[in-house]
């Protein structure tokens, strides 16, 4: 096994020894291969917002900032759950049925995942 390999470098041998002791923890990711190995999801979520802020110079008021943040959050949530953002907005504004509230979609996804 990789962690029991001995090299001519003492520092590397010590690192491999530590990895061998924590092997069960390090290989835990194999139990759930669908989970990402990085923590970039939250950074990716705000990337669109940051680009728009740099281009436009942000908003003129707190109300504008809140509206922008709300719509950006709704758009990202719809996209994550495979829903059309515009379809979702239309269903809410025109009181159409067919697209469930996001809270129900999120709960269903959490229960199945």
**Tens digit of each residue's pLDDT (9 = 90 or more) over 36-50:** 776 676 677 677 767
Q: For the purposes of burial, counting CB atoms within 10 Å of the CB of 113, is it exposed (0-12), middle (13-18) or buried (19 or more)?
A: exposed
| pTM of the predicted model as reported, rounded to 2 decimal places | 0.51
C-alpha distances out from residue 105 to 11, 78, 110, Å:
50, 9, 9
Q: In 3D, which of 112, 94, 113, 91 has the Cα closest to residue 102?
A: 91
Residue predicted with more confidence, 34 or 45: 34
Q: In 3D, which of 83, 74, 87 has the Cα closest to residue 45?
A: 74
Residue predicted with more confidence, 57 or 22: 22
Question: What is the reported pLDDT for 23?
Answer: 84
Which 3 state secondary structure label does DSSP give 48?
helix
Q: What is the mean pLDDT of residues 45-74?
A: 79
Q: Is the model's pLDDT at 9 over the cut of 80?
A: yes
Q: What is the mean pLDDT of residues 75-89?
A: 91
Number of residues that make up the chain: 113
Question: What is the reported pLDDT for 1?
Answer: 62
Q: How many CA atoms lie within 13 A of 21 on its CB side?
A: 5
């Amino acid at each position: 096994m990789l962690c029991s390999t001995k090299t001519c470098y003492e520092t590397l041998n010590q690192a491999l020894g530590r990895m061998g002791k924590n092997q069960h923890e390090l290989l835990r990711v194999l139990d759930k291969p669908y989970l990402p190995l990085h923590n970039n999801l939250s950074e990716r979520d705000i990337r669109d917002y940051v680009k728009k802020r740099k281009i436009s110079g942000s908003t003129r008021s707190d109300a504008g900032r809140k509206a922008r943040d709300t719509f950006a959050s709704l758009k990202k949530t719809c996209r994550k759950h495979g829903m059309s953002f515009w379809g979702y907005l239309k269903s809410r504004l025109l009181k159409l049925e067919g697209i469930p509230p996001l809270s129900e979609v999120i709960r269903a996804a959490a229960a199945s995942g």
